[in-house]
Chain A
Amino acid sequence: MTAEVGLAALWLAAALAALQVAMAALGLARARPEPAVAVRAIAIVQGALAALAMAALIALFLASDMSVRLVVENSHSAKPWLYKFAGAWGNHEGSMLLWVTILGLAGGAVAILERRLAERTLIATLGAQAAIALGFYAFLLFASNPFARLDPAPRDGLGLNPLLQDPGLAFHPPTLYIGYVGISVAFSFAVGALITRDVGPAFARAMRPWVLGAWIFLTLGITAGSYWAYYELGWGGWWFWDPVENASLMPWLAATALLHSVTVLATRDGLRAWTVMLAVVAFSMSMIGTFLVRSGILTSVHAFAVDPERGAFILALLAIYIGGALALFAIRIGTVRAGTTFAFVSREGGLVINNLLLSVILGIVLIGTLYPLVAASFGVQLSVGPPFFNKAAGPIALALVVSMAVGPLLRWRRDDAATLLDRLIWPIAATGFAGAALFVLAPPGLFPLLGLSLAAGLAVASILPLVGRNPWRTPLFTWGMVVAHFGIAVSLAGMACDSAYTAETLTAARVGQPVRVGPFVVRLDGIKPVIGDNWSGLEARLTATRDEATIVLRPQSRIFTDPVTTTSESAIATAWDGQLYTVLGQPDGQGRWQLRLWWKPFVTLIWLGGALIALGGALSLVGRWRRERRAAAREAYA
């Protein structure tokens, strides 16, 4: 019964999306007020129905209803309830359903919350949002029905990939998707504004909170995904330049550029065409990412489907939406008036540099991700890995850090290069001092050295906008910028420390034998069998000693029953100055056990920085919202 309710909700939502597109078109053609009310209401109900379908699927997974094919293929009744719940989106159909649910809910949220956008532009925006949703509803209903039944129903399911059986599954995909698909709102805003030719500061101010909201979740999702990969895979790395990771990084880069250009449009009415273009590009990157991950052309833990028909379907949707938006852009942008001009040395100029550098990094990541696929279609098998991305994108990322340090210290409209240098004296001093100190005390490689010194400079520069101001009277969105930029410095310092100062020991150890790694002496105390809900395994007890202080770690090697898979569970001890990362390998047959140990100084700063960046976004969002409310109250009072 639940499955039928879900399927019916999905069909109804699709029908409403079609109705929403039609009503929006009607409203725009007739320029009458009635359809606007209808479009808003339809958008809200459509979002609610999509959410109902998702709830139905979750209920089926929680109940382990083995008459539903998707549950059989991806779940097992012996699985802990958290993984039954989160397992609803740990597969192709479920994750696509989550995708459209968020798309529908985002449209509903725009319909409920958006009050500033001109009414006609809002109708066009909701029409565009429904048009995207319609395509993906069709994809679900015709190519990936999550509610298909299986007759006769088997006694139990096949289980979930053990790598996914982790609390991270409950947090990382929904967070990432809210950001990923939330960017669709920016896309729809851009399409709406192009249709009504209403690109200006008011449009930018209306779009900004939506971009910011999606960007916060995208940042959190990427940060969480990076930490999950770090502890789950047991390889000690936190970013692998895997195509799937790139698929989430590309929309983030575009959204970050958009976030900065939309500020220029809102404050100074510049970069009109560029901002609209970026909004189109940002969601296009989300869709390209979805295609890469969900079409099955990549091999990874994220790629569930290997059905080429689905890939072709998503590719067709991609072509329609991206092609359509670009065509609309080409036709309409000539009729959008150019915005105001500005001097090169100015805040606007700094933001243009930021946008150019982010676009270049985006281009490099896009080329590196797509190149193997293009080559494969010509019959050449190759893979593009970390050496390419680090070499090509690394130097530009460092240039971006420099522009990030300088940009916020520039004045709007016009600034003076000589006095700018005065303002930069402290950041430059910090960079030089950090570089010299590191070079003398513990010389890392060139890249980490540059990274650490620039991180020090950026940390100082990012705080400077607060100097000389009363911190309580400084607007929250200024705080947001400061915290986010400081977060980048923190994260960069973590990355540089990890790449320069990580100590690694790989050995086969007997019980009782001490092993050195970094400042620690690690002793293998013993190995004992352990058993969990749907797995059994071996657990090592390690005691790590540093300066008389002892820590106990218990890395495991697990064998899951359904499906039968072995995974290693790393054990990580966090100290204030880094993490000790331990992995248990196999026995060597002579009473020794393989151990892989890393001491990673300050590696935690990477994710702490990510959290700070997201916090900065949140502060900024609250700050903008409060200012709007105050302005509205003042208007009402006057």
Chain B
Amino acid sequence: MTAKHQRLTLALLGVAAIVAAALLAMSALKDQASFFYAPSDVRAQGLPLGRAVRLGGMVQAGSIRRAADGVTVHFIVGDGIATTPVTFAGITPDLFRERSGVVAEGRFNPDGSFTATNLLAKHDEKYMPPELAGKMHETRTLKP
């Protein structure tokens, strides 16, 4: 094999590897990218079942209930148009409170409720997740 041939083979191998990586990544992205939903999106687009998504909105006033086990929390997230009940077991973030922004990571249940595996609370305007800031702006409910 001459140097030129070897160079060509290596270059082809490299291209093949990169194409393989891109295909692999794209196919995995298709099922694994977690999309951001606001409660009103669910009403408009239907339930995204069986995949990890993020749900964002305001924790509704008076909606936080703590279950008897002391670690499970039920609350309702709204965006001014629609609401979604959420269940979360774990230590809630320090800035998780009523009338405050929250992003929940988890899955929708067939009945339209949401089971969160992780909660991201709004710290302040600086740390607000950009997707939440955008959504809140659309529905004009952003108030401190």
For residue B42, CB closer than 8 A to chain A, the reply is no
For residue B142, CB closer than 8 A to chain A, the reply is no
Size of the B side of the interface (Cβ < 8 Å), in residues, is 46
How distant is the Cα of A85 from the Cα of B70 in the complex, in angstroms? 41
For residue B126, CB closer than 8 A to chain A, the reply is yes
Which of the segments B21-29, B77-85, B108-116 contacts the partner chain? B21-29
Size of the A side of the interface (Cβ < 8 Å), in residues, is 52
How distant is the Cα of A363 from the Cα of B15 in the complex, in angstroms? 12
User: In this complex, what residue of A is CB-closest to B7?
Assistant: A338
User: Which residue of B18, B91, B92, B131 has the most chain A CB atoms within 10 A of its CB atom?
Assistant: B91
| In the complex, chain B residues 12-49 whose Cβ is within 8 Å of any chain A Cβ | 13-14, 17-18, 20-22, 24-26, 28-29, 32-36
How distant is the Cα of A568 from the Cα of B54 in the complex, in angstroms? 24
Interface string of B54-97 (1 = CB under 8 A from A): 10000000000010011100000000000000000111101100
What's the dominant secondary structure at chain A's contact region? mixed
How distant is the Cα of A234 from the Cα of B71 in the complex, in angstroms? 16
Shortest CB distance A238–B (Å) = 16
User: Which residue of A361, A381, A565 has the most chain B CB atoms within 10 A of its CB atom?
Assistant: A381
For residue A532, CB closer than 8 A to chain B, the reply is no
Selected contact of A384 from candidates B18, B20, B32, CB within 8 Å: B32
How distant is the Cα of A364 from the Cα of B17 in the complex, in angstroms? 11
Shortest CB distance A110–B (Å) = 29
| In the complex, chain A residues 283-305 whose Cβ is within 8 Å of any chain B Cβ | 297, 299
Using Cβ atoms and an 8 Å threshold, which residues of chain A touch B25?
A: 363-364, 367-368, 392
Shortest CB distance B14–A (Å) = 7
How distant is the Cα of A586 from the Cα of B95 in the complex, in angstroms? 12
| In the complex, chain A residues 578-621 whose Cβ is within 8 Å of any chain B Cβ | 583, 585-586, 588-590, 592, 594, 596
For residue A388, CB closer than 8 A to chain B, the reply is yes
Q: Is there contact, CB below 8 Å, between A382 and B94?
A: no
How distant is the Cα of A268 from the Cα of B117 in the complex, in angstroms? 52
How distant is the Cα of A338 from the Cα of B128 in the complex, in angstroms? 53
For residue A2, CB closer than 8 A to chain B, the reply is no
For residue A521, CB closer than 8 A to chain B, the reply is no
For residue B130, CB closer than 8 A to chain A, the reply is yes
Using Cβ atoms and an 8 Å threshold, which residues of chain B touch A391?
A: 28, 32
Selected contact of B14 from candidates A359, A381, A383, CB within 8 Å: A359
How distant is the Cα of A385 from the Cα of B32 in the complex, in angstroms? 8
Q: Is there contact, CB below 8 Å, between A338 and B4?
A: yes
For residue A475, CB closer than 8 A to chain B, the reply is no
Using Cβ atoms and an 8 Å threshold, which residues of chain B touch A368?
A: 25, 29
Selected contact of A367 from candidates B13, B22, B36, B69, CB within 8 Å: B22
Selected contact of B130 from candidates A234, A299, A363, A594, CB within 8 Å: A299
Q: Is there contact, CB below 8 Å, between B70 and A592?
A: yes
How distant is the Cα of A363 from the Cα of B24 in the complex, in angstroms? 10
Selected contact of B70 from candidates A339, A342, A388, A594, CB within 8 Å: A594
For residue A22, CB closer than 8 A to chain B, the reply is no
Selected contact of A371 from candidates B29, B54, B95, CB within 8 Å: B29
User: In this complex, what residue of B is CB-closest to A567?
Assistant: B94
The answer to whether A367 and B95 touch (CB under 8 A), given A341-B2, A356-B17, A506-B89, is no
Q: Is there contact, CB below 8 Å, between A388 and B22?
A: no
For residue A508, CB closer than 8 A to chain B, the reply is yes
How distant is the Cα of A428 from the Cα of B90 in the complex, in angstroms? 43
Interface string of A44-82 (1 = CB under 8 A from B): 000000000000000000000000000000000000000
| In the complex, chain A residues 528-585 whose Cβ is within 8 Å of any chain B Cβ | 565-568, 583, 585
User: In this complex, what residue of A is CB-closest to B9?
Assistant: A344
User: In this complex, what residue of B is CB-closest to A340?
Assistant: B3
For residue A387, CB closer than 8 A to chain B, the reply is yes
Using Cβ atoms and an 8 Å threshold, which residues of chain B touch A392?
A: 24-25, 28, 32
Q: Is there contact, CB below 8 Å, between B54 and A383?
A: yes
User: In this complex, what residue of B is CB-closest to A306?
Assistant: B126
Using Cβ atoms and an 8 Å threshold, which residues of chain A touch B94?
A: 565-568
How distant is the Cα of A585 from the Cα of B52 in the complex, in angstroms? 26
Interface string of A345-371 (1 = CB under 8 A from B): 000000010001101110110011001
Using Cβ atoms and an 8 Å threshold, which residues of chain A touch B129?
A: 299
For residue A507, CB closer than 8 A to chain B, the reply is yes
Using Cβ atoms and an 8 Å threshold, which residues of chain B touch A412?
A: none
Using Cβ atoms and an 8 Å threshold, which residues of chain A touch B89?
A: 506
Q: Is there contact, CB below 8 Å, between B18 and A363?
A: yes
Using Cβ atoms and an 8 Å threshold, which residues of chain A touch B131?
A: 381, 383
The answer to whether A360 and B17 touch (CB under 8 A), given A384-B34, A391-B32, is yes
Q: Is there contact, CB below 8 Å, between B28 and A356?
A: no
How distant is the Cα of A160 from the Cα of B97 in the complex, in angstroms? 23
Interface residues of B (CB under 8 A from A): 1-4, 6-7, 10, 13-14, 17-18, 20-22, 24-26, 28-29, 32-36, 52, 54, 66, 69-71, 89-92, 94-95, 105, 123, 126-131, 134-135
11 contacts between A and B (CB under 8 A): A299-B127, A299-B128, A361-B21, A363-B25, A382-B33, A382-B35, A385-B32, A567-B94, A568-B91, A596-B90, A596-B91
Extra A-B contacts (8), CB below 8 Å, given A271-B10, A359-B18, A364-B25: A341-B1, A341-B3, A360-B17, A360-B20, A361-B21, A380-B35, A382-B33, A585-B91
